[in-house]
Structure 1
Amino acid sequence: MTDMSKRDAVVSVGRIYCDLVFSGLPDMPRMGREVFARSMDPVLGGGAFIAAAHLERLGRRCALLASFGTDPLSSALAPQLETSGVDLRFLDRRADAGPQVTVVMTGEADRAFLSCRAGDAVPSRFETALQWDRAAMLHIAEYATLAEQPDLVARAKSAGLVVSLDPSWDDSLIYDPNLLAACKGVDVFLPNAEEARAITGASDLEDALDSLAAHFPLVVIKCGGTGAMLAASGQRHSAKAPKVKVVDTTGAGDAFNAGFLDRYLAGHPLPDCLAAGIATGSLSVQTTGGVPAPARNGRSIAV
């Protein structure tokens, strides 16, 4: 029998992307015109990996449940997995899993993403990951993963795990009228402001928060540079973000998730969790790419 007192780790599930981050754009590209970026950096991304890397930096053990390609681009970026500190025991290396590429375009006031997916969102080691004796939470980094495996939440709950979900923007899914029903059982719902409005149809964020609070025990809406707000059991809290020099906003929401969930699992009051999420997200935007510097001596567990 699993000793519940030893459960303190997160399993983060989702796709790993090979992000090509174009920074310092004077304007977003338009059809028929060419725009030159100040720099381009190839980095690993995807909400599952970014959140996992930040959790590890914060001292919270996190295992990445994902598939990763063996193609040249994936292989070239693979060392970033090894130096992230993330636990890789549940990682699949498969030829059909990549490359999953996102072109990230960031300017002073805007950003845009162009992505191409490959393979399945949920790798073969899913059941093994749920039975990991240290697992306390399953973090689902994008709704697309749940859409591909609808029983994901139910199986995690049966294994005794708390479940968090970041819907993540997907034009083909974000307006799905069945999204909220498909997320039944999720304990912590973590949309950003644009996603919250799209899912609820509410233009006012307070209304969106109230609407989502009717479906989930804890809802946290990330509002970018202005801060974040949450609702839980009749409580309402909000906090402002500090002014920082923004280099790249890629993965800031996933970094916020890590900061928030780390404190949440430790049993801290919700306002403290909110502050921790904002602090981690604010730190993330000051560097290129969503992943922090190598965590705790670059520790990782290879497959």
Structure 2
Amino acid sequence: MGTDPAGRVDAATSSNSRRHRGEVLVVGAYYADLVFHGLSRPVRPGTEVFARGFALLPGGAFTPAMAMRRLGHKVVWSTDFGTDLFSAQVLAAARAEGLDDTGFRFHTVPVRSVTAALSSPEDRAMVSYQDPIAPYPLAAVLREHRPRLVILPQLLYGESVLAAVQVAQLLDTLVFMDCQDVPCTLDTPTVREILTTVDIFAPNADEAQRLTGAPTLDAAIDILAGLVDTVVVKRGSGGAIAVRQGQRCEIDAIPVDVVDTTAAGDCFNAGFLHAHLAGHPLPDCLATAVACGAAATTALGSSAAPDLTELAQWLDRVPRARLV
């Protein structure tokens, strides 16, 4: 498949792509992110801390959908909106980004999904709330859209999820799954089985150790690499590590003046998937991920997620990857 350095795909698409009805499907809830940034000190119970800045920004599964769209991909986002002002705010942002709305479900009640993000240059803490809403079954969404790639922004588990990822296998759909701070381990029923059917799994370092119970990050990566075809571990300012079929690749982070880390992980994921869909080798996929993640930290939320022109400029700044 022909590509240029920024990962644009030419007309010589694969036969698998021609069989798929769509290219990228993102499945997950929107969030309205209330981002407090520039905190002078950590927030502790019984104290008040003033931030240097504040913004209300679209987040949640909006971020990977928007980031993939900016990188030139055709994206359908399957999510729910209600009558509340947070739904209206994120819906307007999704339409402004040109996202396909065929996956949107509209409800006649509020569907509030809100996160307060307390952001510092090193990391962020979050407090979230979501109105309960019965999600559209994942297997049905996959059958309806038949995507080349499905992005699941957090670790999902349970019998219905296991059945859905097996449907994805039958449809020849690549399954990408992030981890997020989901309260489960490999011993939780169906988690191990689901990960064996996922094509790319992308936890951060803390999540990888918490999920596996391993004493070190390297041990956690070894365990996950024995389950998943491709494991990508985000390490923030420490860079990133990827392992695919025994090949291990490491890369340092790009030095940047960090404004907000809230959307960095999702933009990192989009960069990796953009290069992966274009057929690039593992070191190039990881470099593209680091470029997109770094770009995202230079402004609030996901507002600095790069387009193809900006991506090429960021790639020039990425350190050389190391094969270990």
1:65 maps onto 2:67 in alignment: no
Matched-pair contact (CA < 8 Å) for 1:222–1:228: yes
Q: Which residue of 2 aligns with 1:173?
A: 184
Check the 8 A contact 2:239/2:250 in 1, yes or no. Answer: yes
Report the Cα offset of residue 168 of structure 1: 1.0
The amino acid of 1:270's aligned partner reads L
Q: Report if the CA contact (8 A) 1:62-1:87 is conserved.
A: yes
Question: What is the CA distance between 1:198 and its match in structure 2?
Answer: 0.5
Higher relative contact order (CA 8 A, sep 6+): 1
State the TM-score, normalizing by the size of structure 1: 0.88
Q: Would the aligned equivalents of 1:69 and 1:95 in 2 still touch at CA under 8 Å?
A: yes
Aligned equivalents of 2:269 and 2:262: distance in 1? 13
Say whether 1:75 aligns with 2:88: yes
- Residue 196 of structure 2 aligns to a residue whose secondary structure is coil
Note the aligned Cα RMSD (angstroms): 2.3
* Counterpart for residue 313 of structure 2: none
% same residue:
36
Displacement, 1:69?
Answer: 2.3
Rate the CA distance shift 1:5–1:49 in 2: closer, same or farther, 3 A.
Answer: same
Structure 1: which 5+ residue stretches go unaligned?
297-303
| Distance of 1:192 and 1:283 partners within structure 2 | 18
2:153 corresponds, among 101, 124, 141, to: 141
Residue 195 of structure 1: CA displacement?
Answer: 0.5
Which residue of the other structure, out of 207, 220, 224, is the alignment partner of 1:195?
207
* Alpha carbons of structure 1 residues 35 and 13: separation in structure 2 relative to 1, 3 Å: same
Cα deviation 1:18-42 (Å, max 9, x = unaligned): 1111111112222111111111111
Partners of 2:86 and 2:113 within 8 A in 1: no
Task: Indicate conservation of the 8 Å contact 1:85/1:295, yes or no.
Answer: no
Aligned-partner residue type, residue 261 of structure 1:
L
8 Å CA contact 2:111, 2:133 repeated in 1 = no
> Which of 261, 285, 298 pairs up with 2:297?
285
| 1:14 paired residue number | 28
Quote the Cα distance in structure 1 between the aligned partners of 2:138 and 2:289. Answer: 29
Q: In 2 relative to 1, CA 110–258 (structure 1 residues): closer, same or farther, beyond 3 Å?
A: closer
Give the number of equivalent residue pairs: 290
Q: Which residue of 1 aligns with 2:284?
A: 272
Partner of 2:263: 251
Query: What letter corresponds to residue 164 of structure 2 in structure 1?
Result: L
1:30 aligns with 2:44: yes
Q: Does 1:44 align with 2:58?
A: yes
Q: Is the 8 A contact 2:142 2:167 kept in 1?
A: no
State the shift of 1:169 in Å: 1.1
CA displacement at 1:86 relative to structure 2: 2.2
Residues 159-170 of structure 1: matches in 2 within 5 Å?
A: 159-170=171-182
What is aligned with 1:227?
239
Aligned to 1:209: 221
1:117-147 deviation per Cα after TM superposition (whole angstroms, max 9, x unaligned): 22347336862553436x2011111124x44
Is residue 56 from structure 1 mapped to residue 56 from structure 2 by the alignment?
Answer: no
Kindly provide the amino acid, as one letter, of the partner of residue 48 in structure 2. E
* Matched residue type, 1:282: A
Given residue 112 of structure 2, which amino acid in structure 1 is its aligned partner?
A: P
Letter in 1 for 2:288: A
State how far apart, in whole Å, the 2-side matches of 1:201 and 1:211 are.
Answer: 10
What is the SS of the residue equivalent to 2:38? strand
State the Cα distance separating 1:153 from its structure 2 match. Answer: 1.0
Partner of 1:110: 123
Contact 1:50 1:291 in 2 (8 A): no
In 2 relative to 1, CA 216–23 (structure 1 residues): closer, same or farther, beyond 3 Å? same
Structure 2 unaligned spans of 5+: 1-14, 309-324
Cα deviation digits, residues 192-228 of structure 1 (max 9, x gap): 1111010111232221111100111111111112211
Partners of 2:186 and 2:263 in 1: CA distance: 22
Aligned residue for 2:198? 186
Q: Does 1:119 align with 2:132?
A: yes
Q: Please identify, of 118-127 and 235-244, the stretch whose mean Cα deviation from structure 2 is larger.
A: 118-127
Question: Using the alignment, how far apart are the partners of 2:143 and 2:265 within structure 1?
Answer: 25
